[in-house]
């Protein structure tokens, strides 16, 4: 099969449906090589076992990473009681086992719903989190002692879809950075029998849904349609307010200036810390901005400029 023709560098967001198996980085690197996108990244890593929404950032879209990575995530998954592994999922090395036969389905369901009460969790030993400059998974693979790290989490919604012990399927919505395999592991510890995550699908990476994602195979096999699948910068933050500037204001912003909130009649927040996407008079992305208090009043100040030549 001939290699797809390389595209010019695009700028925006590709909502990708990551397949099970490759890492998030593997998927991004294939798009980089095969579709000619030298400036590329992603927001919100998925484990190799997981599939679903992976937000790929292209060109100037890489500047949006902090504002997309921090969004809430929604997952559909399954776990199995009776086994523990070093990775907290079914792909790891078994480290222990326990009996689940005396557990009642209602008891297990109650414990799963209890995830909503969690405010912190243990970071898995095989994770990209760092300790003294090294990732935990690199320490684990080197046989080093893994420090116990915890992180704050917020589980907004939990739904138990089916219980057929020792298997449980569920759906949840959680804060960014939540390790669902840690939720499975801690559940097994509370029940006294161990548990591992057996499947995971990310259904949402706020504000993007799985139903709007493109499969990796379709993206790579139809390079002529790649550009139409990329969400342009001006539409990449649909949950942010959008403010149109005048030509003079656009030039002022591009030169590092700030603009009084009162100059935008469509939306005039009264507090600092509010964020918006500034657009040129033609509707093209200009900058990410935030309201800041100065002596003279409240102004829109640039967070990240998006005005580089495209």
Cα 105 to Cα 6, 101, 191, 231, 273: the distances in Å are: 53, 10, 12, 44, 46
Tokens linked to 84 = 């523990």
If one counts every other C-beta atom within 10 angstroms of the C-beta of residue 55, the result is: 27
- Short-list 216, 230, 180, CA closest to 19: 216
H helices present in the chain, as ranges: 24-34, 65-69, 105-113, 136-141, 180-191, 216-221, 226-229, 247-254
- Is 89 one of the catalytic residues? no
Distance of CA 25 to the CA centre of its chain: 13
Do residues 151 and 123 make contact, with C-beta atoms less than 8 angstroms apart? yes
Cα 208 to Cα 111, 198, 203, 244: the distances in Å are: 29, 24, 9, 24
Cα 110 to Cα 13, 129, 190, 272: the distances in Å are: 39, 30, 12, 42
Do residues 106 and 203 make contact, with C-beta atoms less than 8 angstroms apart? no
Please tell me whether residue 143 adopts helix, strand or coil conformation.
coil
For 159, the enclosing helix (H) or strand (E) is strand 155-164
Q: Active site residue: 47, 86, 89, 102, which one?
A: 47
DSSP state of 64: G
| Residues forming the active site | 47
């Amino acid at each position: 099969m001939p290699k797809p023709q390389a595209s010019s560098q695009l700028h925006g967001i590709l909502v990708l449906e990551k397949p099970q198996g490759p890492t998030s980085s593997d998927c991004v690197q294939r798009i980089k090589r095969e579709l000619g996108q030298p400036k590329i990244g992603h927001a919100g890593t998925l484990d190799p076992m997981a599939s679903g929404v992976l937000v790929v950032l292209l060109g100037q879209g890489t500047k949006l990473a902090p504002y997309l990575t921090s969004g809430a995530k929604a997952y559909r998954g399954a776990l199995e009681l009776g086994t523990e592994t070093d990775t907290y999922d079914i792909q790891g090395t078994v480290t222990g086992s326990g009996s689940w036969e005396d557990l009642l389905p209602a008891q297990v369901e109650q414990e799963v719903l209890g995830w909503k009460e969690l405010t912190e969790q243990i970071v898995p030993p095989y994770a990209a989190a760092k300790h003294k400059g090294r990732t935990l998974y690199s320490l684990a693979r080197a046989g080093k002692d893994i420090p116990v790290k915890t992180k704050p989490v917020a589980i907004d919604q939990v739904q138990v879809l089916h219980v057929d012990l020792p298997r449980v399927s569920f759906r949840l919505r959680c804060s960014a950075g939540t390790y669902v395999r840690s939720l499975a592991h801690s559940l097994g510890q509370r029940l006294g029998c161990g548990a591992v995550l057996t499947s995971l699908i990310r259904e949402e990476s706020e504000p993007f849904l799985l139903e709007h994602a493109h499969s990796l195979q379709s993206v790579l096999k139809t390079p002529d349609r790649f550009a139409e699948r990329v969400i342009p910068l001006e539409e990449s933050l649909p949950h942010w307010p959008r403010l149109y500037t005048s030509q003079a204001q656009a030039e002022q912003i591009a030169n590092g200036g700030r603009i009084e909130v009162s100059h935008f009649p469509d939306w005039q927040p009264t507090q600092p810390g509010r964020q918006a996407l500034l657009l040129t008079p033609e509707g093209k992305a200009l900058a990410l901005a935030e309201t800041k208090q100065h002596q003279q009043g409240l102004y829109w100040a640039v967070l990240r400029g998006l005005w580089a030549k495209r």
